[in-house]
Chains A and B, each alone.
Chain A
Amino acid sequence: MKTITDQQDISLSFEEEPDQPEIWWRETVRMFYMNKAAVFGFIGLIIIILVGLFGPVFFAADPFAIIGLPLTEPGKISLLGTDYLGRDVFTGIIYGVRTTLAIAVTATVFTVFIGISVGAIAGFYGGKIDNALMRITEFFQVLPPLVFAMVIVAVFTPDLMIVIFAIGVTSWTTEARLTRAEFLKIKEREYVMAARAVGAKNKRLILKVVLPNALPPLIIAVTLRIGISIIYEAALSFLGLTDPDVMTWGKMIGLSRDFFFEAWWTVTFPGLAILITVLCIALIGDGLNDAFNPKLRGR
């Protein structure tokens, strides 16, 4: 009797995660591309950024300049109409891309820097340091963010740096908690203990071992934080609490507040600009979330 040797393909029920980082990242990008909404958002954001970079080149104008009669409807003098002083809404929106995004990104960098640092140190060292840092975090969490930011901007002169500072100081707690939770989880993993066993120092452990593995949720948090910062800045400038020399979308809405019943375009278009920009960011964030999800990867 002979054995029927039959070469059968063995199908694995799941792909084992390879440890090479390049393959992992490639898979992430692949997952992202498969999500049509995310790609749509990504392209949308690229378009917006290009408009912000090159728009002022093609439509060279001063958003503060008066181009015609106040409160003219869209289509008469300018594409999107004029505001209560006769300034061009369209120019304001084009120029607003730069200012809004610049402020939002800077504020995000600031927020995330504080947040990740506090969270990493608290999560990694634990014990008394963790306790102390968490008490501080809770204190900042108790102050309603906008109210606190308004007070800060009110106390100090309304200046771009102050606005960024105010946004940063009132928002870092979310990233701090997230980072701390990730660090607590990863700290116990075997590869961290292995690195420690071969004598890696704390600083190296934090920066080179734990942090890279905590990246996925952090990347998503940073992406979403940019969106939140855009809206946050818009709220502050809506209330008039920003640098008087800067024209942002929120400011446009705030300035035209008393006139929007008669002139809907002065408020609607800047608001739509905010909505579309943040929507693109949200789609990207969603796409990243799905792309990193281990349950969905590998088909």
Chain B
Amino acid sequence: MLTAILKRILYGIVLVIAVVVLDFLLIQAAPGDVVDTILTEAGGGNPALAATIRASYGLDKPIPVQLITYLGKMLTGDLGYSFYYDDTVFSLLVSHLPSTLMLTLSAFVIAVFLGTLMGVIAALRPRSIFSHIITFFSLFGYATPVFWLGMIILLIFALHIPIFPAFGIYSVPRPEGTFDRILDVINHLVLPTFTLAILYLASYSRLARASMLDVLGADYIRTARTKGLSEFVITFKHALKNAALPVITVAGLQLGSIFSGAVLVETVYSLPGLGPLLYESIVRRDYPVIMGVLFGAAVTTIIANIITDLIYNLLDPRIRGIS
């Protein structure tokens, strides 16, 4: 079991290296380079100056050498420097990642748990109105653009019925005391999390319903009934665990998609996350930051995938392999 985890982590590192290589190739493909950016910021320059700066960045060396240098830098945490923000890319990532992570994780957890619960309840009464609503609303979850939904929700809940704050992750000025600060952050995260979660919740509840219906017809449920177990035990001990597995699998595969959704939601709600960071740097052609965000996003996804794999292994003994 331990060797499997190690192998997985090792494989993850290989993927990270591949991402770095991709970053490098993309930078090479981009028109203009760091030097042009610097010179533009500085207000123009002459070829001699450009050549000096190039040399200092090692940009006059052959490509493979540049690649190795780049790899070395990235993997040791030197992700470059942003002239616009006047900060290292690494610290920019570190300061912007938490907001995105909080949003992604809360939306993920809510969508999976609530979705499974709702789907299970719908499966127990397959012909009820609730059940049909779930089937129908899953389509809306698929068809609604998340950024548009965010704006509509903002319109309703922040403007017309002002319950929740509209923008940012905390109020200005920040409240005193840790507890109040935490509450404040949660308050600001309610609408964005809801926006992001509801779309996935719609599809997970439908998936959970179908999965639960499948499981309830299985032979081992019939066996459980012949043992005289109560309906409660049959539903929540025997059926639920089996029914939840496909939902978790799908949700795990969609982590990248949820992350992307978070990027959009952050832009709408002006949260200080990777989304606006990426967007701003694209507008300003701040390549180190752009590549840094891609790198950071990929690393986060890789780590998240490993964790989901672990969780799935714990839940389904068939995957664990025979001891």
Contact = CB atoms under 8 A, between A and B. Distances in A.
Interface of A: 138-139, 141-148, 150-157, 224, 227, 231, 234-235, 238-241, 250, 253, 257, 260-261, 264, 267-268, 270-271, 274-276, 278-279, 281-283, 286
Task: Report which residue of A138, A147, A281 has the largest number of chain B beta carbons within 10 angstroms of its beta carbon.
Answer: A147
B159 interface: yes
Interface string B293-319: 110011001100100000000000000
B147 A144 contact: no
B264 A146 contact: yes
Contacts of A151: 26, 278, 282, 290-291, 293-294
A144 B255 CA distance: 8
**Chain A interface mostly:** helix
B143 A142 contact: no
Interface string B265-283: 0011000001000110011
**Chain B interface mostly:** helix
Given A144-B260, A144-B297, A155-B27, 17 more contacts: A143-B22, A144-B256, A144-B263, A145-B257, A146-B264, A155-B29, A155-B30, A227-B142, A234-B148, A235-B145, A235-B147, A239-B279, A240-B283, A253-B148, A257-B268, A275-B144, A279-B140
Interface of B: 15, 18-19, 22, 26-27, 29-31, 139-140, 142-149, 151-152, 155, 159, 256-257, 259-261, 263-264, 267-268, 274, 278-279, 282-283, 285, 290-291, 293-294, 297-298, 301-302, 305
A276 B29 CA distance: 39
A143 B256 contact: yes
B26 A146 contact: no
Contacts, number: 131
Contact of A141 (B29, B143, B256): B256
A235 B264 contact: yes
14 contacts: A142-B15, A143-B297, A143-B301, A145-B257, A151-B294, A227-B143, A234-B148, A238-B147, A240-B283, A253-B145, A268-B152, A271-B148, A271-B152, A282-B142
A150 B256 CA distance: 14
B312 to A, nearest CB: 16
Contacts of A271: 145, 148-149, 151-152
Contact of B294 (A141, A143, A235, A282): A143
Contacts of A276: 143
Contacts of A156: 29-30
